[in-house]
Structure 1
């Protein structure tokens, strides 16, 4: 393959990857929100990590990379928690957002029963996100 063909091919591939929704790179157990999904998990006694995100949001993308890396590094998160992504573009004005007073996309929550155990709004520090996930893990295993 000559240099010109290589550049054209790799540019086309990079452009295709940029068009894929960000959830294509998320962990296997990230669930797209549908009405009632979070409540279903909570009613079953599960601890739920909720990610309010938009595909175009750079802060959300950073959070997603950190969450994916933490989940890859510690399989206990996937065993203990239900991960649900709420698409901001679809649900910004929906009850799932309004009832929890979610101020903006890039908001992360941990829920168990009728309690909110923790929240991060627009935070992208790995230690902060890990602490929130650890809060969920501890609640799920206690």
Structure 2
């Protein structure tokens, strides 16, 4: 068996943590259900509702930004719910969303912020801050 050098061992270790972080980030959002959303509201946790469509280029640009922000310590209690724009039309309407790529932030039962089509990390972070 070949010995792994110290530098390579450190690189492999760092890569494993990076992959673990990506897996955690990819799992940051939960498919929307009214019962799960209401439960999260009852806890008073900050909530992000993403009105998302898989075919939407803006939604695809938002996703890695949201995933990266969601793993930051200050957003550790953030609950993220993804509403499918195409298959959950009644839920899209309940949130008053007119189009995909809508981001809505709640603090408990109160909506505290909303954006449409935003793909800037700083402004998405500022939107999420409103839920804290």
Partner of 2:81: 84
Task: Give the gaps of 5 or more residues in structure 2.
Answer: 1-22
CA distance in 1, matches of 2:50, 2:41: 15
Task: Summarize the alignment of residues 1-142 of structure 1 with structure 2, pairs less than 5 Å apart.
Answer: 26-72=25-71, 74-77=72-75, 79-92=76-89, 94=90, 96-136=91-131, 138=132
Normalised by the length of structure 2, the TM-score is 0.74
Task: Give the gaps of 5 or more residues in structure 1.
Answer: 1-23
Corresponding pairs, count: 110
CA distance in 2, matches of 1:29, 1:63: 13
Normalised by the length of structure 1, the TM-score is 0.69
**4+ runs of 1 displaced by more than 3 Å?**
24-27
RMSD over aligned CA atoms reads: 1.9
CA distance in 2, matches of 1:120, 1:65: 17
Using the TM superposition, give the Cα deviation of residue 38 of structure 1 relative to its aligned residue in structure 2, in angstroms: 1.2
